[in-house]
Amino acid sequence: MLPKTQMPSIQTIISAAASAAATAMVIRSVAKDLIPHEFQHALFVRLRQFLSTFSNQLTLIIDEYEGLYPNHLFQAAETYLGTAITPDTKRLRASKPEKENQIKVSMEKDEELTDSSFGGFPIRWRFLCKKTAGSYIADPDDYYGGSFLKSEARFFELVFHKKMKDKVRIRFYSQVINEYLPYILEKSKILKEEQRTLKLWTLKNDRNWMMEVPSRMPWQSVNLDHPSTFDTLAMELDAKKTLMADLQRFVRRKEFYRRVGKAWKRGYLLYGPPGTGKSSLIAAVANYLNFDVYDLELTAIRSNSELRNLLISTANQSILVVEDVDCSIELQDRMKAAAKALVGRDPFRYGHGYDPGSSGVTLSGLLNFIDGLWSSCGDERIIIFTTNKKEKLDPALLRPGRMDVHIHMSYCTPCGFKMLAQNYLGISEHPLFMEIEQLMEMKRVTPAEVGEQLLKNEEAESALRGLIEFLEEKKEIEEVKDGT
């Protein structure tokens, strides 16, 4: 008969485990103090390599930064994984910046997520963070190439099984690199476009260019919430269709522009009297293409080199706008007296060495901006000039390759009036339409003037009669002017 063995009590087991844990902590602490850091790291690497030989997984690491600069693949994975959430995901992060419209969902650190959308093979993602000694990383938002101290390393681990035979495993690994990751890049690009909030960018007042004081980007932005669309524009229907077809053709012809050796950009000149909807058309183009708008105030730019710097600091898929180009700047003979007055008023801001004779954007600088070598520093850009007097512009600005499409923004036409009546009053037909259209054929009235009249009364009949009175009064005034 076997002798009876007495099982240790639970208290004894816990006491022994605690003693072992304490001993391990002491050994770890002593080892950390006595063993050089380099040796500890080498030992850890060797131990990890040894343990990996028993693992049935293959792991890819995607760091947040590649050297000093952001890793585009990390950013794409972060966007993509926000839409690949499964019921097994335990913790997520949700955020909404003040100026954004969409709530963004992403993985929380130390969480896992399994994506089975690629070839039926489950691919597990881990989002990990670890403290580092701290290193300076390039700041992507710093126009002057500044940096900031980063003391945390963030990275994704992309893990998949390697139980299959070597040939199958190698082929699958190749598919992950050559197909799955490019798919994530493309998918994240689409997601960013869908979640994108349009911005209107304008120049900061404190750029301090002449003093060369490092600051952040020279642009500041607000959300572009302009409601104008091609459906609401008071333009001739054929003109709208032509412009929309031209924009669609432009955005899908990246390879064509590359093949023929042209920068991927398009120039539009909007010309016509004030109040004909030039700014509304710009907003409609931005909403149609989902492009940000950069408002270039030429009078605030002090030199051609500054104009070039501003150009390269704008993003792809954007619209660069110069409104009232005919009167916003003297392109051929900049007045030096105005520049001297600026220096005298604020010598610290502009610098004592500032030369007024070299100030201002010249015609040559503007031409290089829209069609020189610098214009190729970026893709999928649209440049729009607006003017009330096209004849005042230098012909060099108007040729194809600079202003490719000229769009005349005319006075209100019967077609434009019907669009305004639909927008303002919600009607497409009315007995008074014929009388109004006949008056418009004899009068020059802008869409802005028609819209203002239609705003004065919510009831359709009263609003239309008020517009008729306005047109008749306008006719009498113009007849008196013509007679004198």
The predicted pLDDT at position 34 comes to: 63
How many CB atoms are located within 10 Å of the residue 214 CB?
A: 10
The letter for the amino acid at 8 is: P
Given this model, what pLDDT does residue 338 score? 43
Question: pTM value?
Answer: 0.69
Torsion of CA 38, 42, 44, 48, to 10 degrees: 160
On average, the pLDDT of the chain sits at: 77
Supply 419's token pair.
Answer: 């669009």
Average pLDDT over residues 205-212: 52
Phi-psi region of 324 (alpha: psi -120 to 50; beta: other; left: phi over 0): left
CA gap 120, 123 in Å, rounded = 9
Q: Which residue has the tokens 């009068």?
A: 443
Q: Do the Cβ atoms of 76 and 180 come closer than 8 Å?
A: no
Q: Which residues pair with 137 in a beta bridge?
A: 148
Q: What amino acid is encoded at 239 in this protein? A: A
Higher pLDDT: 423 or 112? It is 423
Tell me the three state secondary structure of residue 91. Answer: coil
Q: Among candidates 150, 290, 284, 293, which has minimal Cα distance to 219?
A: 293
- Nearest residue to 319 via CA among 289, 294, 284: 294
Q: What's the token pair of residue 107?
A: 């993985």
123 sits in which H/E element? strand 123-138
Q: What is the pLDDT of residues 375-431, one digit of tens each?
A: 677 788 999 999 998 988 888 888 888 899 999 999 999 999 999 999 999 999 999
Q: To 10 degrees, the CA torsion angle through 172, 174, 180, 181?
A: 140
> Which secondary structure element, helix H or strand E, spans residue 47, and what is its range?
helix 37-52
In 326-440 the beta strands, taken as DSSP E runs, fall at: 381-387, 405-408
Where do the H-state alpha helices sit in 330-400? 336-345, 347-350, 363-371, 395-398
Please choose, from the candidates 90, 93, 71, the residue with its C-alpha nearest in 3D space to the C-alpha of residue 156: 71
User: pLDDT at position 52, please?
Assistant: 54
pLDDT at site 477: 58
As a whole number of angstroms, the distance between CA 439 and CA 475 comes to 8
Between the alpha carbon of residue 89 and those of residues 62, 110, 354, the distances in Å are 20, 11, 60
Per the model's pLDDT, the better-predicted residue between 330 and 456 turns out to be 456
In 3-state terms, what secondary structure has residue 307? helix
- The string of pLDDT tens digits covering residues 129-150 is 887 776 666 555 554 445 556 6
CA distances to 170, 208, 234, 262, 458 from 426, in Å: 64, 50, 14, 45, 10
Give 344-354 pLDDT, tens digit per residue: 545 444 444 44
Spatial contact of 75 and 93, defined as CB atoms under 8 Å apart: no
Residue 336: the pLDDT is 44
| 304, 368 Cβ separation under 8 angstroms | yes
Of 309, 289, 277, 288, nearest to 419 (Cα)? 277
| Residue 333, number of CB atoms within 10 A of its CB | 9
- Indicate the pairing of strand 265-271 with strand 381-387: parallel
Q: Which residues contact 302 (CB under 8 A, 6 or more apart)?
A: 209, 210, 350, 359, 360
Task: With a cut of 90, say whether residue 302 has pLDDT above it.
Answer: no
